[in-house]
Amino acid sequence: MPIDATELGATTINGKTYDHDVIIRLSGAVEKRRKRLSKEMYGTALMHVTC
């Protein structure tokens, strides 16, 4: 799965831009990342960007 670009607040994957955190599944599906666990454990949704 090619990640075309990343910038603060947006990620472009296969030509489609997402303005939220995403999870890329092994099947290639791109899904919105749920932040519920981070909010419950830490009181906030932590954002981590790695390339």
Q: Give 19's contacts (C-beta < 8 A, 6+ positions apart).
A: 9, 10
Span 16-40, average pLDDT = 85
Query: Taking 80 as the threshold, does the pLDDT of residue 39 lie above it?
Result: no
Three-state secondary-structure class, residue 25: coil
Distance CA 18, CA 4 (A): 11
Residue with structure tokens 């603060």?
A: 8
In this prediction the pTM is 0.60
- 35 or 10, higher pLDDT: 10
Q: What is the pLDDT of residue 13?
A: 92
For the chain, the domains span 3-42
